[in-house]
Structures are given as structure tokens and as C-alpha cells.
Amino acid sequence: MNTPDIVYLFSYGTLQDRNVQISSFGRELADRPDALPGYAQTLLAIGDPKVVEISGKTHHPVVRPSANPADEVAGTVFEITQQELLAADEYEVSDYKRVHVTLKSGIDAWVYIAA
């Protein structure tokens, strides 16, 4: 059940990485598989050296809405606090924006997509 302080965050990329979670949230997040329908995934070059250092990667996945309704992006959904959502905002670079979506499971969640 969704309490006021708990939100759902869908991740298809580096937020699934244990080191990124520890650095951003101070803990490893519990997750469960889900998917984001109507989106397609590509890679994005990351210019922020701090984010590259935390993730260990110079290119991160990014999703964009797709014209093909059969497209979907596999990932995981996390149950986090509002404060942790703000920490995720700090981690994500300006090439991403946070939007509210409905996942394949029916869960309403936040996700970072191409800005």
C-alpha cells in the first residue's frame, strides 16, 4: 500500500547498481521486476564527472516515448521515501527529467526519461 511518504521509482539503468544506491540513498534498495510500456531505450553520454565516478560508466541508458505501442523497457521498481526521491534527483544529470508513469504491473511510479 502506498503511504504518503512512500513513492515508487522505476529504474532501467544505473539506479539498479548497488554502488549507486549506497552513494545516493545510504542503503541498498529492495526491488522487484517491472516494465515501462510505450518507451524505447538508447544510450546517453554522461559529462558529469561525479556521476561517472559513482556509476563507473561514461554512458547511461535513457528512455524516450516510442511510436510503437509494442515497445517496453524492462527494469525494476523501488519503494522509496520522498527524501530518497530527492536524492535520486540530485544523482540524475540535466539530460534526464522525472515524469510520472503507469508501469506494466499497474503501479504508478516516477521514472527518469530524456529531457
Any idea which fold 6-104 has? Hypothetical upf0131 protein ytfp (3.10.490)
Q: Which residues contact 35 (CB under 8 A, 6 or more apart)?
A: 72, 73, 74, 75, 103, 104, 105
Q: What gap in Å lies between CA 12 and CA 8, rounded to an integer? A: 13
Question: What ranges do the domains of the chain cover?
Answer: 6-104
The conformation of residue 61, written as its DSSP 8-state character, comes to E
Residue 46 to residue 50: CA distance in whole angstroms: 10
β partners of residue 68: none
List pLDDT tens digits, range 26-80: 999 999 999 999 999 999 888 889 888 888 889 888 999 999 989 999 999 999 9
Stated pTM of the model: 0.87
